[in-house]
């Protein structure tokens, strides 16, 4: 018989929305399970997006998107400080290249004022080029929103999940939900969730399933919305291009979205993109195409000239959970008491996510979900070492205490052995090279892990061996267990000849 796991609350989906909801539940004395069908958190849209904390002038006034975008934006400074996550409030510019586009800026300004975006205003050509000399000389004006920012989205997601686990929450990876039904054998209201290893039983279920939101909703009832998976492709350029602009630079939005942007990243690179392409077959197809990458180069060059495309570090794509709804879908599902959903979380979902977490928490309270406060206290903060961001004096003091922080493993990004060790001992242990990258920042530079990869594999094998000997909770401590990223992306395989000898 398959095992049954019982919990008070189950959150399905460990992207930035699911982890924000989990993080908001830390102060309460309830059993919470956070599930994801992948082998790590932040494996969907959260790890492949523009990394922008939007100011909030784009959403239609009166919508949840408008309200939660501005509220979420305002929460980031304190959250990122508490979680040791890189964040910079660099401001954004929406460029106008004609009188027609200048009129559109006025509309966006009006929206921004109605949405209570702080200090938003329109710059004339002289002021625009004074504060951002890197933009095209053809730009005649710009909408300036100083509250916009840039962040490391997957580290923010991971930080929330790690603190959630450290405070008693449970994360279950490789846990795809294949069905949800009412437990008709129990007079109390419980739901049963089918997972590969058995069944989860819970009174309250929160769905935060990204591009699969309508599919999972369909386990319960016919959804009144559809997800429109939309792929966006990107260029990530070397740090030599990172100072090309100091603000997030947009073009005037159109029906396809906010258009192609040019922006610095918190790691010091330059990001350009995204495109917009609806996926009709494989909704998880994150391949890149020469046609769309050429489109990025053409459109980005209109905003910022002289970009050195030869200094490209890598191309990537992500899938946005656009939907047929004009707003976020945040609710208890009609006729499904105790089942809540956060669906259609398209842009500005990342910027809104902290406020979405609090919104869903308040919704649970309004619906009478028992949420007793913890009596023993809790700690919602996280301390993490970012060696390259420290002063020389701070580095010297740290290395004196622990020499492992003085041994650089990733030369491109300046990541130390101590930081990689800390990542390997995360409350949510990484099971792949890319999972270490998301925690420690390794492999993100020009060589893309070519130099540091072998040493990290060696450290992972040592960690796996030690852990397997003491608890058996991690994969077989052999090279065959090491993944590049998702399940099936094994780095090493046994030769057929060696298998024959063994047999």
CB-based contact 325:225 (threshold 8 Å): yes
Q: What is the pLDDT of residues 114-125, one digit of tens each?
A: 999 999 999 999
Q: Is residue 497 pLDDT above 80, yes or no?
A: no
Q: Is residue 182 pLDDT above 80, yes or no?
A: yes
Q: Give the pLDDT band of residue 73 (cuts 50, 70, 90).
A: very high
Q: Give the pLDDT band of residue 184 (cuts 50, 70, 90).
A: confident
pLDDT for position 189: 82
Cα dihedral sign for 295, 298, 304, 307? Answer: positive
Q: How far apart, in Å, are the Cα atoms of 441 and each of 15, 86, 434, 445?
A: 19, 12, 9, 9
User: Of the given ranges (205-214, 229-238, 300-309, 472-481), which has the lowest mean pLDDT?
Assistant: 472-481
Q: Is residue 259 pLDDT above 90, yes or no?
A: no
Q: What would the two tokens of residue 485 be?
A: 């990223």
pLDDT for position 1: 54
Q: Give the pLDDT band of residue 403 (cuts 50, 70, 90).
A: very high
CB-based contact 408:17 (threshold 8 Å): no
pLDDT for position 397: 97
CB-based contact 249:260 (threshold 8 Å): no
| Neighbour count for residue 379 (Cβ, 10 Å) | 10
Region 98-109 average pLDDT: 95
Helices 16-24 and 349-366, packing angle to 10 deg: 40
Q: Is residue 493 pLDDT above 60, yes or no?
A: yes
Distance (Å, whole) CA 346 – CA 324: 11
| Neighbour count for residue 427 (Cβ, 10 Å) | 15
Residue-wise over 175-202: b if at least 16 C-beta within 10 A, else e?
bebeebeebeeeeeebbbbebeeebbbb
pLDDT for position 387: 95
Residue-wise over 252-270: b if at least 16 C-beta within 10 A, else e?
beeeebbbbbbbbbbbebb
pLDDT, averaged across the chain = 94
Share of the chain above pLDDT 90, in %: 87
pLDDT for position 502: 58
Question: Facing residues of 340 across strands?
Answer: 206, 332
Q: Is residue 216 pLDDT above 60, yes or no?
A: yes
Helix (H, G, I), strand (E, B) or coil at 56: coil
Q: Is residue 501 pLDDT above 80, yes or no?
A: no
| Secondary element (H or E) of residue 273 | strand 270-273
Q: What is the pLDDT of residues 438-451, one digit of tens each?
A: 999 999 988 888 98
Q: Give the pLDDT band of residue 396 (cuts 50, 70, 90).
A: very high
pLDDT for position 111: 97
Q: DSSP string covering 99-138, please? A: HHHHHHHHHHHHHHHHTT-TT-EEEEHHHHHHH-TTB-TT
| Active site amino acids | 54
Q: Give the pLDDT band of residue 21 (cuts 50, 70, 90).
A: very high
pLDDT for position 469: 60
Q: Give the pLDDT band of residue 466 (cuts 50, 70, 90).
A: confident
Distance (Å, whole) CA 67 – CA 74: 11
pLDDT for position 188: 72
| Helices and strands in the chain, H and E counts | 13, 22
Region 358-363 average pLDDT: 98
Distance (Å, whole) CA 169 – CA 57: 36
Contacts for 54 with CB less than 8 Å, ≥ 6 apart: 69, 73, 92, 148, 347, 348, 350, 351
Strands 4-12 and 198-207: parallel
Q: If phi over 0 gives left and psi between -120 and 50 gives alpha, with beta otherwise, what is residue 403? A: alpha
Q: Is residue 464 pLDDT above 90, yes or no?
A: no
Q: Is residue 494 pLDDT above 90, yes or no?
A: no
Predicted TM-score of the model (pTM)? 0.95
Q: Give the pLDDT band of residue 474 (cuts 50, 70, 90).
A: low
Q: Is residue 471 pLDDT above 70, yes or no?
A: no
The radius of gyration of the chain's CA atoms, rounded to the nearest angstrom, is 23
Q: Is residue 363 pLDDT above 80, yes or no?
A: yes
Q: What would the two tokens of residue 489 be?
A: 């992306």
pLDDT for position 173: 97
Domains of the chain, first to last: 1-87+151-226+324-383 (3.50.50.60), 88-150+228-321 (3.30.9.10), 387-497 (no CATH)
Q: What is the 3-state secondary structure (H, E, C) of 463-485?
A: HHHHHHHHCCCCCCCCHHHCECC
- Token look-up 């939900």 returns 177
User: Of the given ranges (131-140, 212-221, 228-237, 456-465), which has the lowest mean pLDDT?
Assistant: 456-465
């Amino acid at each position: 018989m398959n095992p049954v796991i019982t919990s008070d609350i189950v959150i399905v989906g460990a992207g930035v929305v699911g982890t924000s909801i989990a993080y908001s539940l830390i102060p309460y004395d309830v059993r919470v399970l956070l599930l994801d069908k992948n082998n790590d958190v932040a494996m969907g849209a959260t790890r492949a997006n523009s990394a922008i904390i939007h100011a909030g002038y784009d959403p239609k006034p009166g919508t949840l998107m408008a309200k939660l975008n501005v509220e979420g934006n305002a929460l980031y400074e304190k959250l990122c400080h508490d979680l040791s996550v890189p964040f910079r409030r660099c401001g954004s510019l929406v460029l106008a290249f004609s009188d027609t586009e200048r009129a559109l800026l006025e509309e966006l300004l009006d929206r921004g004022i109605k949405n209570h975006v702080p200090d938003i205003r329109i710059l004339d050509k002289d002021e625009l080029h004074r504060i951002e000399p890197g933009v095209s000389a053809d730009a005649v004006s710009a909408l300036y929103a100083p509250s916009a920012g840039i962040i490391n989205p997957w580290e923010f997601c991971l930080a929330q999940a790690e603190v959630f686990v450290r405070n008693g929450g449970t994360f279950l990876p490789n846990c795809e939900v294949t069905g949800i039904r009412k437990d008709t054998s129990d007079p109390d209201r419980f739901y049963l969730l089918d997972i590969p290893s058995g069944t989860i039983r819970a009174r309250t279920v929160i769905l935060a399933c990204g591009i699969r939101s309508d599919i999972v909703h369909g386990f319960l009832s016919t959804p009144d919305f559809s997800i429109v998976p939309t792929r966006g492709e990107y260029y990530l350029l070397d740090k030599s291009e990172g100072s090309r602009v100091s603000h997030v630079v947009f073009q005037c939005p159109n029906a396809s979205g906010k258009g192609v942007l040019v922006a610095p990243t918190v790691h010091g690179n330059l990001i350009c993109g995204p495109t917009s392409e609806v996926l009709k077959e494989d909704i998880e197809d994150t391949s890149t195409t020469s046609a769309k990458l050429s489109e990025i180069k053409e459109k980005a060059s209109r905003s910022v000239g002289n970009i050195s495309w030869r200094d490209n570090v890598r191309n990537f794509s992500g899938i946005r959970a656009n939907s047929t709804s004009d707003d976020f879908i945040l609710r208890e599902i009609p006729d499904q008491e105790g089942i809540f959903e956060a669906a259609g979380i398209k842009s500005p979902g990342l910027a809104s996510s902290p406020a979405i977490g609090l919104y869903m928490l308040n919704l649970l309270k309004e619906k009478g979900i028992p949420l007793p406060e913890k009596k023993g206290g809790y700690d919602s903060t996280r301390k993490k070492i970012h060696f390259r961001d420290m002063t020389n004096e701070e580095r010297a003091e740290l290395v004196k205490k622990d020499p492992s922080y003085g041994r650089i493993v990733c030369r491109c990004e300046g990541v130390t052995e101590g930081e990689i060790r800390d990542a390997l001992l995360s409350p949510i242990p990484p099971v792949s090279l890319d999972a270490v990258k998301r925690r420690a920042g390794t492999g993100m530079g020009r060589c893309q892990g070519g130099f540091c990869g072998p040493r990290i594999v060696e450290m992972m094998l040592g960690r796996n061996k030690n852990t397997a000997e003491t608890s058996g909770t991690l994969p077989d401590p052999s090279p065959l267990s090491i993944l590049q990223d998702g399940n099936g992306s094994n780095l090493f395989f046994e030769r057929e000849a060696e298998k024959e000898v063994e047999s």
